[in-house]
Amino acid sequence: MNEKTTPATKSRRIHAIDAARGIALIAMAIYHFVWDLDFFGYVSPGLSTRGGWAIFAHLDAASFLFLAGYSLWMAHGASLRPRSFLRRLAILAAASLAITAVSFFATPDAIIYFGILHIIAVASVIGLLFRRVPAVITLVIAAIALLAPHLVRFDALDPRYLAWIGMAAHPYPSSDYVPLLPWIAPFLAGFAASKLTLSWLRRQKQLPATENPLTFLGRHSLIFYLVHQPVLYGLVYVATLVAPPNPAPAYLSGCQAACEQTDEAGFCRSYCACTLDALEQEGLLAPLMRNQTTDKDAVALGRIAMSCSIR
Residue-wise pLDDT tens digits, 3-34: 344 444 445 689 999 999 999 999 999 999 99
Residue-wise pLDDT tens digits, 295-305: 888 889 999 99
What distances in angstroms separate CA 284 from CA 44, 67, 82, one per listed residue?
19, 48, 59
Work out the average pLDDT over 127-142: 96
Amino acid at the residue 242: V
Whether pLDDT at 280 is above 50: yes
Amino acid 256: pLDDT = 87
Amino acid 5: pLDDT = 43
Residue-wise pLDDT tens digits, 96-113: 999 999 998 888 888 999
Judging by beta carbons within 10 Å of its beta carbon (0-12, 13-18, 19+), is residue 19 exposed, middle or buried?
A: buried
Work out the average pLDDT over 129-143: 96
Work out the average pLDDT over 276-294: 86
Short-list 129, 135, 268, CA closest to 189: 135
Work out the average pLDDT over 283-288: 87
Three-class DSSP labels, 23-70: HHHHHHHHHHHHHHHHHCCCCCCCHHHCHHHHHHHHHHHHHHHHHHHH
Residue-wise pLDDT tens digits, 160-174: 899 999 999 999 889
Amino acid 10: pLDDT = 46
Amino acid 182: pLDDT = 96
Amino acid 288: pLDDT = 86
Judging by beta carbons within 10 Å of its beta carbon (0-12, 13-18, 19+), is residue 262 exposed, middle or buried?
A: exposed
Q: Tell which wins on pLDDT, 12 or 179.
A: 179
pLDDT tier at 43 (50, 70, 90 boundaries)? confident
Q: What percent of the chain has pLDDT over 90?
A: 66
Amino acid 53: pLDDT = 94
Work out the average pLDDT over 274-284: 91
Asked if residues 52 and 44 have their Cβ atoms less than 8 Å apart, the reply is no
> CA 157, CA 179: separation in Å to the nearest integer?
12
What average pLDDT is seen over the chain? 90
Asked if residues 276 and 255 have their Cβ atoms less than 8 Å apart, the reply is yes
> CA 166, CA 179: separation in Å to the nearest integer?
5
Q: Tell which wins on pLDDT, 114 or 1.
A: 114
pLDDT tier at 205 (50, 70, 90 boundaries)? confident
Whether pLDDT at 247 is above 90: no
Q: Specify the DSSP class assigned to residue 83.
A: H
Asked if residues 182 and 146 have their Cβ atoms less than 8 Å apart, the reply is yes
